[in-house]
Each structure stands twice: as structure tokens, then as C-alpha cells.
Amino acid sequence: MDDLNEPMKLNCGQILMNKIGLAPLTNKQSNEDGTLNDRELEWLKLRGGHYGLISTCATYVSKDGKAWEGQLGLSEDRHIKNLERLTDEIKMSGSKIITQLHHGGDKAVFSNDKISCYDDTHIKVRNASKEELQEIINNYVLAAKRAEKAGFNGIEIHGANGYLFTQFLSHITNKRNDEYGGDIEGRSRLLLETVEAVRRNVSKNFMVNVRISPVNTYSLKGIDIEETILVAKWLDELNIDILSLSLREYNMETIFEDQNYPVIQLIRDETNNNLKIATAGNIWSRADAVNAREIGADMILLGRAGIVHPDWPTVSSKKNFKPYYPKWDPAIFQKVGVSNVFHNYLMKFPGLVMGGAEKR
């Protein structure tokens, strides 16, 4: 059954107008100082009124956690003003808007002193002290409070795709021998303490979401589904609103107790129904989205399809709708709100844009 355009109520009491979200997409359009640029404002504004939930790109919580040029910031109060313009525009459209809070860990390339959960002189990263971990937690709390002040409906804590929290969750990268390492209870401690601290310091009706990589994908190693299920249960106990799964394919399967199961199904079956499960991962057509719902997702998130279809939630249910698969003609970019800066970034992805990098 296609109920994607039906509303969805969250733990915090907020109601999304539909079950379709725009995934947090790196676009490198922010100003050098981390403030919101008009290009990014227009890009997101064009999707307002269509997606039930809209997310900004990953937003650094501290300068030493910044991971790429053109990244949005919420590490200082001066970042708030431009973001207020964004939240006003999106909320007037009927959509809810969140910002994804992020720390690069060993991928924080602008830091002269990268910290994570291991030491490696070759890439100039070191094991963080306990005091530094508490500072990271505090930076997430401060960024979340700034987000609420800027008018966001909530935040998402980025615990996926190889960044700081994933480094701690992985039994391969986490080399600590204190309470932040060892078994999964220790390796998840930093993430859970951060979520708990954020939840405690924002309003009760403020959305608190978490994104994780539930299994190994691409170069990511050391993430086991059995441990991910435990982490999902613990996050559920902290009363988060949405657990977002970063998957290469929305219907990706993994082995659990000697059988293959869809990852979404495993996590949905092991958590409370009040916790909403969201997934991205090669969702293009309405049929893809409905299938993801049937597997166990409460809502779906669009990445690449959301770039070329600003109104996907509205038009995808029409009988004649055909997704615009890659390779994309850059001539469409102005129409869909993709600036030259974003265009140049997309060109680096093999097989995505005509004239860009070729598939290997």
C-alpha cells in the first residue's frame, strides 16, 4: 500500500506532512566561514512544501571537526543569522527542517591536531583524551542549542559513513582500552552520551535523530549487524525520533543467525514502533519507495533523486512519472536549483553527470 503522502507523528510530538525526506547531501555551497550561502538557501527552498522532512548538509560542530571546503557550520553564534532565513522559508512551506551535526574525526582535514580513537602518525591522528571527548559532547550540545535558536525543527547526529562516531563504533578502528573502547557497550558510549546530552538540553518537542551505518559498506569496516541492533535498541531507549540508516541499497541484505535478511527489517523487528526508521539507498521510483516501506522503513530519504527532482514527493505518484537516472545533462541544473559550485562537486562522481568522471 502506498501511504507515503500520509502524515507521520514522531516521539517529540511533531508531525511530518508525509513520509518522504530529503537526505543530508554534501554540496560545498557554504561560505568559507561556515555561514549559509544564498546558493544553499535557494537549493533547499526549492524543495520546501514537497518533502515532509528536509535536512541540510553535514554541519560542523567545531572548527577542528570540519571535513571539507564549503561545509556549513554551527560552531559559533554568528552562524545562526543566515540559518534563520532558511528555517523561516522552509517552515512556511509546510515542511520540517533539521540540520545534521557532524565531526570528521580522522577526516577533519582542516585540523592540525586530528583526534579519534586510535593513534596513527602517518595520517597525523591521535587518540582523544577523556577531557577532549567531553568537549566534543559539549560542542554537540551547543550546536544543537544554536540550531533550536535558529528555528530548526530538530537535529540529526551524524554517526555514519566513517566519521567520528563510526570510528568509535568500529571494532577495527577503535583501539581504546578505557570505557570508550572494548566491547560495543564501550565503543557506543561516546555516541550515546552525546545523544543523551543533546536530548537533555533541547526542548521536549525538538526533534533528535541519529544516522548510522548499520553494516560495512564501501571502505567502512568493523561494523557488525548484531552490534548495530544493540546500538539501535539503546538509541531507542534514549527516545530519539528517527534512526536513519545509511545504506548503499535500501534493500541491502546481511547475514544474521545464518540467514540473509534485509538490514531494515532486522532493525525494525528489534526496536519499538515509536522509533521511526528512515532509509536512503538508490531509491528512484515510487515502487522503490513503497518497497522500502514494505521491508520495514517508516519513511524514505532521497539523495540523488532529490537533486534532479525537487518535487519528487508530489510528482512521483503520477502514472507517467519517470525518474531521471544518471548520466544527467548539466543543462537541467539551473532549473533544479543546483549552482555551479554544486555542479562542479557532482562532476567528480563517476557516471553521474555528462562530461564528468567516467565509471571505472
Residue 204 has pLDDT above 80, yes or no: yes
Residues 193, 110 share a domain:
yes
When pLDDT is cut at 50, 70 and 90, the band that residue 297 belongs to is very high
Residues 163, 33 share a domain:
yes
Asked, for residue 75, whether it belongs to a domain, the answer is yes
Residues 128, 175 share a domain:
yes
User: Over the stretch 322-359, which tens digit does the pLDDT of each residue have?
Assistant: 999 999 999 999 999 999 999 999 999 999 999 999 98
Which residue, among 235, 294, 316, has the nearest Cα to 11 in the 3D structure?
235
Which cell goes with 86?
Answer: 532558511
Asked, for residue 1, whether it belongs to a domain, the answer is no
Asked, for residue 118, whether it belongs to a domain, the answer is yes
Q: Do residues 279 and 307 lie in contact, with contact meaning Cβ atoms separated by under 8 Å?
A: no
Residue 263 has pLDDT above 80, yes or no: yes
Q: Using the structure block, give the residue that is written with the C-alpha cell 535558536.
A: 149
Q: Using the structure block, give the residue that is written with the C-alpha cell 522509533.
A: 275
Asked, for residue 251, whether it belongs to a domain, the answer is yes
Amino acid letter, residue 88 = D
Residues 182, 134 share a domain:
yes
Asked, for residue 34, whether it belongs to a domain, the answer is yes
User: How many residues are listed for the chain in this entry?
Assistant: 360
User: Over the stretch 38-94, which tens digit does the pLDDT of each residue have?
Assistant: 999 999 999 999 999 999 999 999 999 999 999 999 999 999 999 999 999 999 999
pLDDT in the model for residue 344: 96
Residues 236, 357 share a domain:
no
Q: How far apart are CA 157 and CA 351, in angstroms?
A: 30
Local structure of residue 152 (DSSP, 8 states)? -
Structural domains counted in the chain:
2
The pTM assigned to this predicted structure is 0.96
Residues 252, 343 share a domain:
no
pLDDT in the model for residue 218: 64
Asked, for residue 2, whether it belongs to a domain, the answer is no
Residues 347, 308 share a domain:
no
- Contact partners, residue 26, CB within 8 Å, separation at least 6: 57, 58, 68, 71, 345
pLDDT in the model for residue 219: 66
Average pLDDT, the chain: 96
C-alpha of 159 from chain center: 8
Residues 350, 230 share a domain:
no
Query: Can you tell me the mean pLDDT for 91-102?
Result: 98
Asked, for residue 168, whether it belongs to a domain, the answer is yes
CATH number, domain containing residue 227:
3.20.20.70
| Structural domain harbouring 215 | 8-325
Query: Can you tell me the mean pLDDT for 288-295?
Result: 97
Residues 193, 53 share a domain:
yes
Residues 226, 83 share a domain:
yes
The torsion angles phi and psi of 107, rounded to 5 degrees, stand at -100, 10
Q: Do residues 321 and 313 lie in contact, with contact meaning Cβ atoms separated by under 8 Å?
A: no
Residues 140, 109 share a domain:
yes
Asked, for residue 17, whether it belongs to a domain, the answer is yes
Q: Do residues 289 and 267 lie in contact, with contact meaning Cβ atoms separated by under 8 Å?
A: no
Residues 208, 351 share a domain:
no
Q: Using the structure block, give the residue that is written with the C-alpha cell 521536549.
A: 204
Q: How far apart are CA 278 and CA 263, in angstroms?
A: 12
